[in-house]
Amino acid sequence: MSVPRYWREIPSRYRLIGSKCVNCGKTYFPPRRVCRECGSVSLEEVKLSEQGRIITWATVYDPPRGFEKYVPYIVAIVELDDGTRIMTQITDCEPDEIHVGTRVYAVFRKIREEGESGIIYYGYKFKPLK
Amino acid sequence: MRKVAVIAIGYTKVKEHWGLSIRDLFTEAAIMALNEVTIDRVDALYVGNMSSGYCQHQEHLGALMADYIGLKSPPAVKIEAAGASGGMALREGFQAVASGLHDFVIVGGVEKMSDVLTPDITYAMAMAADQEYEAFIGVTFAALNAMIKRAYQHKFGVSDELMATLPVHCHDMASKNPYAQYPFKITVEQVLSSPFVAEPLRLLECSSPADGAAILILCPLEKAKEFTDTPIEIVGVGAATDAIALYQRDDLTTFKATIEAANIAYKMAHIKPEEVDVAEIHDSFSVTGVISLEDLGFFEKGTAAKAISEGEIAPGGKIAVNTFGGLKARGHPIGATGVYQAVEIVKQLRGEAGKNQVDNAEIGLTQNIGGVGGTVTVHIFRRVR
């Protein structure tokens, strides 16, 4: 991945920056320029909630290239407390510790690295609230 | 708008074709189709394909395939819509003939996945998802469908045993299909004891990488009888799109684009779901097929798996489904799948389906999904009396 392609997504991946429609209130992650609910182009940048609950999840055993050493790992759709949905890894727990509805919060983690000398990708993961 | 018919079909066996390149596969299927009819020209070529750029580092498939199948410099283009590439290529071909722009059109689909290793195939498949916010964090295509399966079972309380009945049905059908990737039967117990690919999805609930090519030749219905005694009319075409990122959908237990595409196609064909005799649906994963049977209007939400277990989609049941094995067992050469489905419906409506023939099949339907429902095409076919 080129450095600019990684760098331009940093606000969303490091700080959960999304956008909110000024007209209808719908929120998006990552930010959008056009609201798909009402068609408005008046959207403003917002910081999204750092807590939410698991809607559904899966445990990956057959990874794509670059994720081999993390197997098995958990991926989930989380609905944040402000209603925005996000795709994330669930970390620091085992699959039998979570269920539909489990409360989780955002943490900052390494996602993967690109070989010996490439970019180290960072971003959010979520972890169960104990 | 002119009426459009399929006048010829061609296809290869679905398997890992170690000895054949992507152009060899396409050419083999095209020769079979061109041997069925005598036409003196081809006006345009549409090639459905998803991953030639990644798997072969080969793009520009339209011109490449036109050249290799011996066409005289027609306009030719690759159509890409992930797993729905074949269905969208058929739609393009239909539009070209229906509009009057072209008379003789070849619609093909081809995928050659065995040129790369499994982690690369997994990576290529994830390109149908949102790269920056799904694939970036390690979500696989199977994992997305596993999340759908969990949500579906959570909402409707459908057991693992019932979810396993669709792959078992598809293998039953494929066991009588000479060009199927997996022409053998499996049991519910085998499905439930196979390893997880992405929990809760097990290996035998997932279609697997494959190579294959399929071809249709289209022309105006009014000319079709000059070339074949058994033209098959395309009477309904529908397509729709949705967010490609699964997490941006409100309801994970339905594919909105299937419902929209099907409604358009049913309306155009002036039929209701219960009038369909035979359907080829997109069972890339057990749950994908189960949801599709419901979204297409064949069964109520939450009831399709039980209906399958009661024999309702076998020949002689309420509606015959995936009579050549579907994606699970005929095989899923991604960009070719939508064209294989159409080939199979044509075989059924011609009465050439051999041991898998559905008695008096008159109306057939195909449903082809790209990604996890980001693109869906639905086509309806009718036997011409």
pLDDT digits (tens, 9 = 90+) for B280-329: 999 999 999 999 999 999 999 999 999 999 999 999 999 999 999 999 99
The pLDDT of residue B8: 98
Interface predicted TM-score (ipTM) of this complex, two decimals? 0.97
pLDDT tens, B51-109?
999 999 999 999 999 999 999 999 999 999 999 999 999 999 999 999 999 999 999 99
Min CA distance, A47 vs chain B (Å)? Answer: 17
CB B129 within 8 A of CB B244: yes
The pLDDT of residue A8: 96
pLDDT band at B119 (very low <50, low <70, confident <90, very high): confident
CB B381 within 8 A of CB B263: no
Q: What percent of chain A has pLDDT over 70?
A: 100
3-class SS of residue B84: coil
CB pairs under 8 A between A and B: 108
Q: Both B267 and B247 in a single domain?
A: yes
pLDDT tens, A81-120?
999 999 999 999 999 999 999 999 999 999 999 888 899 9
B contacts of A61 (beta carbons < 8 Å): 195-199
Answer whether B201 sits within 8 Å of A58, measured CB to CB: yes
Q: Both A25 and A56 in a single domain?
A: no
CB A98 within 8 A of CB A90: yes
Q: Measuring CA to CA, which residue among B295, B384, B309 is closest to residue B158? A: B309
Chain A positions with Cβ closer than 8 Å to B: 9, 12-13, 28-30, 36, 55-68, 70, 72-73, 75-77, 85-89, 95, 100, 111-112, 121, 123, 125
B68 found inside a domain: yes
Show the CA angle centred on residue B86, arms to residues B85 and B92, nearest 5°: 90
State the average pLDDT for chain A: 96
Best mutation target, B116, B136, B141, B152, to test chain A (most A CBs within 10 A) = B136
Q: What percent of chain B has pLDDT over 90?
A: 98
pLDDT tens, B365-379?
999 999 999 999 999
Q: Both B311 and B281 in a single domain?
A: yes
Q: Both A44 and A60 in a single domain?
A: no
Quote the CA–CA distance of A77 and A64 in Å, as a whole number: 19
Q: Measuring CA to CA, which residue among B1, B81, B38, B40 is closest to residue B339? A: B81
Min CA distance, A22 vs chain B (Å)? Answer: 19
Domain count, chain B: 2
Q: Both B253 and B218 in a single domain?
A: no
Give the CATH number, domain containing residue A73: 2.40.50
Q: Taking residues B113-140, what's their average pLDDT? A: 93
Least confident of A72-81, B119-128, B172-181, B190-199: B119-128
B contacts of A13 (beta carbons < 8 Å): 136
Give the CATH number, domain containing residue B194: 3.40.47.10
The pLDDT of residue A1: 85
pLDDT band at B385 (very low <50, low <70, confident <90, very high): confident
Answer whether B148 sits within 8 Å of A56, measured CB to CB: yes
Nearest chain A alpha carbon to B136: A111
Q: Taking residues A53-80, what's their average pLDDT? A: 95
Q: Both B54 and B185 in a single domain?
A: no
pLDDT band at A65 (very low <50, low <70, confident <90, very high): confident
B123 found inside a domain: no
Q: Taking residues B155-169, what's their average pLDDT? A: 98
| Domain span holding position A32 | 1-48
Q: Taking residues B173-197, what's their average pLDDT? A: 98
B124 found inside a domain: no
The pLDDT of residue B364: 98
A contacts of B138 (beta carbons < 8 Å): 60, 63-64, 66-67, 70, 73, 75, 89, 111-112
Min CA distance, A71 vs chain B (Å)? Answer: 10
Please check whether residue B82 touches A, CB under 8 A: no
Answer whether B151 sits within 8 Å of A89, measured CB to CB: no
pTM flag (> 0.90): yes
The pLDDT of residue B138: 95
Give how far the C-alpha of residue B153 lies from the chain's centroid of Cα atoms, to the nearest Å.
25
Omega cis (within 30) before B200: yes
Nearest chain B alpha carbon to A60: B198
Total count of residues recorded for chain B: 385
Residue type, A76: A
pLDDT tens, B332-354?
999 999 999 999 999 999 999 99
| Domain span holding position B84 | 4-117+209-232
B309 found inside a domain: yes
B130 found inside a domain: no
Please check whether residue B352 touches A, CB under 8 A: no
Strand-strand pairing, B375-383 and B232-241: antiparallel
Q: Report how far apart, in Å, the C-alpha atoms of A99 and of each of A31, A49, A102, B314 are.
A: 28, 20, 6, 36
Answer whether B143 sits within 8 Å of A112, measured CB to CB: no
pLDDT band at B123 (very low <50, low <70, confident <90, very high): confident
CB B87 within 8 A of CB B338: yes
pLDDT tens, A31-45?
999 999 999 999 999
Show the CA angle centred on residue B102, arms to residues B98 and B106, nearest 5°: 95
pLDDT band at B199 (very low <50, low <70, confident <90, very high): very high
Domain count, chain A: 2
CB-count exposure of residue B275 (10 Å: 0-12, 13-18, 19+): middle
B contacts of A123 (beta carbons < 8 Å): 136-137
Q: Both A33 and A61 in a single domain?
A: no
Min CA distance, A63 vs chain B (Å)? Answer: 7
Answer whether A56 sits within 8 Å of B248, measured CB to CB: no
Q: Both A107 and A66 in a single domain?
A: yes
Please check whether residue B139 touches A, CB under 8 A: yes
